Structures are given as structure tokens and as C-alpha cells.
Amino acid sequence: EKLNVSSAGILEPIKGAGTKLESVISSSEQRQPRPSDMLTTLHDPQALLSGFVPTGETYALAARISGVAKTAFPEGLVIEQAPEVAVSENGEADVAAAPVQELLMPKHQSNENIQVIIVADTDVLSDRLWVQVQNFFGQQIVSPWADNGSFLLNGLENLSGQAELISIRSQGRFSRPFERVDALRRDAEERLLAQQELLEEELNNTEETLIALESARDETDGAMFTQEQEDELLKFQQQKLKIRKQLRDVQHQLDQDIEQLGTKLKLINILLIPGLICLIAVFGAYRKRFQASA
């Protein structure tokens, strides 16, 4: 019912590959790929919305790979093990001069039909994404609040048996959202985001000006301010309050269109549909009476 990922990647099939990629978890169409190096310098998640333009495509976040596959290391893989540490009688550690190298050969060069599930997120099983751990009289009690663990168990059972068996398992709840409402919400967010950014920038400039004026007041006697300076300080304080009010109005406008649409839907369900049913019933009764009299 609910699956959380942290910073998921995108899985795409390679041209000419002998395997088949079937999407298990996919994104919606309101997505846009972003370079992973953005996360190294990201301080505010709100910055991800800057320049966001959905591509209208869906992307595979987890996929099942099946088909013919060959090893990527037919000649083996050389690994380096950590140097052996020997402890002398006086307790001093004697480290070997060079690490030990070992050649690992694959047990199988190819497979006619592999079955693999790949998730493009290494954090999918991290506790913070799907369980809550609490201490209860010295024991740790784990309470799942998402279905990441169920996804793992279902994947293992699916890979260990026939793919058709998954259809007889109990299904989780699913929702059928109002697409019109979701589209209105996205349009409102995109329309008001630019206005909100402009207001926040104007608010920051106003606060910087107020700080500079207050600093000038502290450095000199406040009574030495001229009337023009006092008026300017008051003007910026009023402007700051005005901008804050405009920001609140922008945030409130976000749900206005959705509330109006909900009201229209309620009126249609409460008045229009029953009215049509009544008209059809009256017309049917009138027609029967007319046919009986004829």
C-alpha cells in the first residue's frame, strides 16, 4: 500500500541486451530527472522546484530482469584483501608490507533465464523509511508504518516460484484519485510558486534594509534621526507586514480552485443527478399513461 524511497535512480534497458526489463515500481508522469550531484549541495528541498518542468514520461524505479545473461567478468576479478596484522609478544602490531591479491572466478559464465529484481535505491530497506523502533523495558519493538519489508518478502516469494502465483496473493488497497483535482493542484502550485519566490525575495530585501536602518539607529542617538529617516523606517516596517500578508494570501489561494471544484461536484451529485433521475421517472410515467389512454 505504501512504499518509501529516499533518492531513487532510474532504470533503463540497454539496447541489444538479451534480457527483458519489466517495471515493478514506476513514477508518475509528473516527474523530471535531476542530476545526482544536486544532492551533495542541497540545503533546502524547496530548491528542487526551481526550474522543475515535468517530462510527461514515467520512469522505472524498480524492475524485474529476466532472460539470457552472461557474466561481466569472464576472466575473473582481482580483489585486494586488507593486509594481515600480526601482533608481537610485546603487543605491537606488525602490518604486512603489501595487501594480498586474490583472483575470483565466476561459478557460472552464463544463464539462460535469470530472474532478478533491482531497486534503484540503496536506502529502500533503511529503518528510517519504513519502521519505527522503540525501547520497551530493555527490548526493541519494531513497528512498521510502510510496506518496504512486505515488498521484499513478496519479491522473494515471487522469484522463488512461478510468476503467475503472485495474482492469487491478497492485494493492498489502492486509490483512484480525482485527476482533475490533481491537475488543478499542480497548476496552482506552478502558478503561485513564481509569485511566492518574488515575494520572498522582496521580503528578504526589505528585512536587510530594516536591519541596516536599525544598525544606524544603534550607532547614533535615536533622537538624532530626522523626520524623513523615521518615515522611511516606518514605511519599510509597513512594507514588511504587507509582504507577509501577501505571502499568506498566496498560500491560501493554493486551495481555492480545489474547493470551488469540490463545491461544483457536490452540487452535481446532490442536485443535478437526482434531478435527471426524477425527470426520467416523470417522463416514463407520463409515457405509460399516454400509451394506456391511447
Residue 98 burial class via C-beta count within 10 angstroms: exposed 0-12, middle 13-18, buried 19 and up: exposed
pLDDT of residue 165: 67
Q: For residue 291, what are the CA distances in angstroms to 157, 288, 294?
A: 65, 5, 5
The answer, yes or no, to whether residue 119 has pLDDT greater than 70, is: yes
Q: Region 123-140: what's the mean pLDDT? A: 88
Percent of the chain beyond pLDDT 70?
Answer: 80
The answer, yes or no, to whether residue 121 has pLDDT greater than 70, is: yes
Q: Region 184-190: what's the mean pLDDT? A: 71
pLDDT of residue 155: 87
pLDDT of residue 23: 93
pLDDT digits (tens, 9 = 90+) for 43-101: 887 778 777 888 989 999 999 999 999 998 999 999 887 776 666 666 665 555 567 78
pLDDT of residue 169: 66
Strands 19-26 and 60-70, bridge-based pairing: antiparallel
Q: Region 106-125: what's the mean pLDDT? A: 91
**50-59 own/partner pairs: CB under 8 Å, 24+ apart:** 50/197, 54/29, 54/30, 55/29, 55/31, 56/29, 57/29, 57/31, 58/23, 58/26, 58/27, 58/28, 58/29, 58/31, 59/10, 59/11, 59/26, 59/27, 59/31, 59/33
More confident residue, 159 or 194: 159
pLDDT of residue 172: 64
pLDDT of residue 268: 78
The answer, yes or no, to whether residue 221 has pLDDT greater than 60, is: no
pLDDT of residue 225: 60
pLDDT band at 175 (very low <50, low <70, confident <90, very high): low
pLDDT of residue 124: 92
Percent of the chain beyond pLDDT 90?
Answer: 20
Cell 534480457, residue located: 19
pLDDT of residue 94: 59
pLDDT of residue 30: 84
Which of 16-20, 203-207, 274-278, 285-289 is least confident? 203-207
Mean residue pLDDT of the chain comes to 80
